[in-house]
């Protein structure tokens, strides 16, 4: 059996992100089969037992995940010319009022807060920002199985054969798309449920069947719904919630 880098194995097992794993190792917070490991680059067998000490566990408990109803006109991550990243909306005055009753904003919650997935500048709806590498891996890791639901307003005719293509049979960037769930929500709005996230995927899928997208809103990620969260406001992911 081949040995694997400890930080990689920790990430694969969902203990933390690889970057967090390296930091925990440097701090001496990682134990393998009861032995403290503090040397970066250490390799172990996949069958060996990894455990984090109480300091690492406490730090993970303090990490926050934020749910934002992103308005149109904000980019998910890196700012673009003339546009701001969505993280600028994470400030006390934009916290959902009902959320403030249980958890208050602290500036430390902005440290290393990053989007777990993207939502295009001309799209709106649920965007997840997190300090927790475990959640980021769950949502955007290469083995993620979390589905995402969108309401998409369109213009154009969509005969049954083309609706079937939206569900399965289209290709983007030379690759076949995974099966989707696409159905009519009302006479001019489609519901898309996807478990992959290629760049501008829904808009490009619609172009392939001669539909013009005039509005796109993400309303669910896994088990977490946008619900009644107002446009431009945010709330914390509760301890009892999960994707």
For helices 160-167 and 201-208, angle between their N-to-C axes, nearest 10 degrees: 150
Looking at residue 230, the DSSP 8-state letter turns out to be P
Q: Does residue 67 contact residue 234 with C-beta atoms inside 8 Å?
A: yes
Query: Which residues have a Cβ under 8 Å from the Cβ of 161 and sit 6 or more positions away?
Result: none
| Exposure string for 45-71, b = 16+ CB within 10 A, e = fewer | eeeeebebeeebeebbeebbbbbbbbe
Question: Which listed residue (33, 99, 120, 147) is catalytic?
Answer: 120
Is 99 marked active-site?
A: no
Closest CA to 228 of 89, 125, 148: 125
Catalytic residues: 120
């Amino acid at each position: 059996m081949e040995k694997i880098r400890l930080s990689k194995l920790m990430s694969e097992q969902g203990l933390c992100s690889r970057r967090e794993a390296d930091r925990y190792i440097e701090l001496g917070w990682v134990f393998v089969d009861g032995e403290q490991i503090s040397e970066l680059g250490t390799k172990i067998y996949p069958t060996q037992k990894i455990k984090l000490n109480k300091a690492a566990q406490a730090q993970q408990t303090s990490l926050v995940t934020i749910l934002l109803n992103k308005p149109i006109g904000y980019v998910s991550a890196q700012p673009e010319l003339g546009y701001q990243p969505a993280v600028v909306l994470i400030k006390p005055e934009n916290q959902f009022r009902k959320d403030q009753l249980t958890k208050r904003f602290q500036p430390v919650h902005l440290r290393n807060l990053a989007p777990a997935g993207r939502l295009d500048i001309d799209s709106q709806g649920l965007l997840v920002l997190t300090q927790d590498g475990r959640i980021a891996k769950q949502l955007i890791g290469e083995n993620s199985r979390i589905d995402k639901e969108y309401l998409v307003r369109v213009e154009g005719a969509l005969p049954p054969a083309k609706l079937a293509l939206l569900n399965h049979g289209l290709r983007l960037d030379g690759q076949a798309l995974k099966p989707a769930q696409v159905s009519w929500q009302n006479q001019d709005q489609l519901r898309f449920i996807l478990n992959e996230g290629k760049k501008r995927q829904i808009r490009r899928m619609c172009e392939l069947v001669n539909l013009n997208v005039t509005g796109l809103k993400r309303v669910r990620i896994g088990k977490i719904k946008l619900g009644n969260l107002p446009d431009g406001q945010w709330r914390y992911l509760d301890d009892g919630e999960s994707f």
